[in-house]
Chains A and B, each alone.
Chain A
């Protein structure tokens, strides 16, 4: 029910007028283009100013999914996206919960630890990329020295694609673990301490307390974190750009879209980019995120209903 008392007649339009710019920005800059991606995916748009844009039907999709080596590379990128997302989600979720449980205690210096683990959220991909490239400096950098202690050697980011991927997964988690931790911490702090005390009096073990009090009462944070981790990691690709560049054997879907649409290293519009093709790839990624996101959401909802009644 609209219950507006500030005026009638023409004055009634004021909130609409003031709301308009914000909605307009959103529709013109984000929502509209986002929806228009599906339209562009059926064209041969090149990104050159003034160049004709032709309707090509399903050609981009056919090429992306079914044509020769390129489509095999695309499936490989899709597989990598899923692997990346799986590892990032499970590890970030687990360690985020662990850290939240650790820093939710009354300890000396606990604020220092919270701040430290949360700090990377303000560092963007560029800074994180450079900081870790230095830390993983293969010629006698800190980690190379630790490896040498055990008689091991590694090229780290410059090594085999699987090794490089593993490091990007690690650094992605390093960068975002603090957010997961803070969301769990916010959840933990809503659990009344009487519940813990009651469980203690009943003689419950630590494991039983966690299983029967903490874990069920954390359901909302668990759901939020899982969804954020999954969706975030499926769409993440900027660390690949700054840490590895567009290297064979390490591309994920998000990076592939950027590389096809805007060139691999820079945004100069001198050469033709395959923006229609990139738009088709965007739609494939969108469907992937949607299907996985919806499935997980449904499972979590059911579980939530079971626990919370």
Chain B
């Protein structure tokens, strides 16, 4: 198995030699992959700009007249403003509450300021292996009367073990002298965490917040299970309904997908650094 894994990159290492064709192979491979990644997106964009008859006649022909009406149609027909507002409310409120709670969990664990800090951290680490919580969680929400309830739905997103692990790892790198200096100045614990730990941990907090927000934005299973009232639907659930109704109308559907994707793409391009560091944070530390 080792040999099959290793044999592919071997050709690529030739790039380090001053021979030009190694570079050519590299670019050729990168371009092949780029086509696989860009192709579906370009198809989506192109389709969203065509009329339905145009699409039916030839699905891949380039859009000739920019038929922007698809976007207006999608926006109006799909009850988009409603779903979008719901998603925004869920995402923002859950992320803010989660991040604040997470900082107050992570800091004392990182500093060993509470008894059993190691045990608490382990508790979060094992989450990766745990069985699916869906069924007892559902029973719990049902008995608490939080089924089909936006508040209950937000509650489900106040948890993210990986975020805690990232925060703990980062806070361990903050100099301990700061704590001592704060104590000397008579600064209390709460004030210290708010005024010093929060601002110093901004890179890690941003990482955790962005990852968490993306997860909520894209969540499909939980709204399917917990929200039956259409007025509460987030955009993901709305898209599935829309697909059910306009499944054969690909131009409008493509426009709807683009409307849903653009905010995320924008966030991705702006905050890519944080997303990368969040998803790769386990790599170097092992």
Q: Which residues of A contact B (CB under 8 A)?
A: 1-7, 11, 14-16, 18-19, 21-23, 25-26, 28-40, 45, 47, 49, 90, 93-94, 97-99, 101-103, 105, 107, 113, 115-127, 130-132, 134-135, 137, 139-142, 145, 174, 179, 182-187, 190, 196, 200, 206-207, 209-211, 214-215, 220-221, 223-225, 228, 231, 235, 238, 241-242, 254, 257-258, 261-262, 266-269, 275, 278-279, 282-283, 285-286, 289-290, 293
Q: Please state if B33 and A117 are interface contacts (CB–CB under 8 Å).
A: yes
Q: Which among A200, A262, A283 is the interface contact of B224 at CB below 8 angstroms?
A: A262
Tell me the B246-263 residues at the A interface (CB within 8 Å): 250, 253-254, 257, 260-261
Q: Tell me the bound Cα distance from A39 to B133 in angstroms.
A: 12
Q: Which residues of B contact A6 (CB under 8 A)?
A: 113, 179, 182-183, 188-189, 192
* B interface list, Cβ under 8 A from A: 1, 4-6, 8-10, 12-17, 23, 26-27, 29-30, 33-34, 36-41, 43-44, 47, 58-60, 98, 101-102, 104-105, 107-109, 112-115, 117, 120, 123-124, 127-140, 142-143, 147, 155-156, 158-159, 161, 164, 179-180, 182-183, 188-190, 192-193, 214, 217-221, 224-228, 236, 239-240, 243, 250, 253-254, 257, 260-261, 264-265, 267-269, 272, 275-276, 279-280, 282-286
Residues of A within 8 A of B117 (CB): 2
Task: For A224, list chain B residues within 8 Å (CB).
Answer: 282-283, 286
Residues of A within 8 A of B37 (CB): 116-117, 119-120, 174
**Can you list 11 A-B contacts with CB-CB less than 8 angstroms, sorted by A residue number?**
A19-B114, A36-B136, A45-B135, A94-B8, A102-B26, A102-B30, A107-B23, A187-B283, A187-B284, A258-B134, A275-B135
Given A102-B29, A182-B279, A282-B132, also A125-B41 (CB < 8 A): no
Residues of A contacting B188 in the complex (Cβ-Cβ under 8 angstroms): 6-7, 11, 14
Contacts beyond the supplied A19-B105, A130-B253, A134-B250: 19 A-B pairs with Cβ under 8 Å: A1-B112, A6-B189, A22-B104, A33-B135, A37-B136, A49-B147, A97-B8, A99-B33, A102-B12, A102-B29, A118-B275, A118-B276, A119-B268, A122-B214, A127-B261, A142-B39, A231-B129, A241-B220, A283-B131
A268 near B43: Cβ-Cβ < 8 Å: no
CB-nearest residue of chain A to B279 = A179
B283 touches A289 (CB 8 A): no
Contact check, B108 vs A19: say whether CB atoms are below 8 A apart.
Answer: yes
Least CB distance, B92 to chain A, in whole angstroms: 17
Residue in B40, B109, B265 whose CB lies within 8 Å of A135:
B40
- Cα distance A161–B31 in the bound complex, in angstroms: 31
Which chain B positions have C-beta within 8 A of A258? 134, 221
Looking across the interface, which residue of chain B has its beta carbon closest to that of A116? B37
Which residues of the partner chain A approach B140 to less than 8 Å between Cβ atoms? 28, 33
In the assembly, what is the distance between CA of A40 and CA of B193, in Å? Answer: 40
Q: When chains A and B are docked, how far (Å) is the Cα of A274 from the Cα of B265?
A: 39
In the bound complex, do residue B131 and residue A18 qualify as a contact, i.e. CB atoms below 8 Å apart?
A: no
Give the complex CA separation of A306 and B228 in angstroms.
Answer: 55
- Which 8 A-B residue pairings sit nearest by Cβ, starting from the closest? A124-B218, A206-B13, A22-B105, A286-B131, A36-B136, A22-B101, A33-B136, A33-B133
A141 and B59 contacting across the interface, CB-CB below 8 Å = yes
Are A49's CB and B142's CB within 8 A?
yes
Q: Judging by beta carbons under 8 Å apart, are A2 and B113 in contact?
A: yes
CB pair A257 B114 closer than 8 Å: no
Q: Which residue of B has the minimal Cβ distance to A231?
A: B128
Whether A278 pairs with B135 at a CB distance below 8 angstroms is yes
B51 to chain A, nearest CB (A): 16
User: Closest approach, in angstroms, between the C-beta of B61 and any C-beta of chain A?
Assistant: 9
A289 to B126, CA, bound (A): 12
> Distance in Å from the Cβ of B5 to the closest Cβ of chain A?
5
**Are B189 and A286 in contact, CB atoms less than 8 angstroms apart?**
no
Q: Which of A47, A119, A196 contacts B142 (CB 8 A)?
A: A47
List the B residue with the shortest CB-CB distance to A276.
B135
Chain A hits for B29, CB < 8 A: 98, 102
A177 to B129, CA, bound (A): 21
Evaluate contact between A29 and B137: CB separation under 8 angstroms. yes
Check A31 against B123 for contact (C-beta < 8 Å). yes
A34 to B214, CA, bound (A): 23
**Residues in A whose Cβ lies below 8 Å from that of B137:** 29-30, 33
Q: Do A15 and B108 touch across chains, with their CB atoms under 8 A apart?
A: yes
Instruction: Report Cα–Cα, A20/B177, bound state, in Å.
Output: 26
Tell me the bound Cα distance from A283 to B260 in angstroms.
35
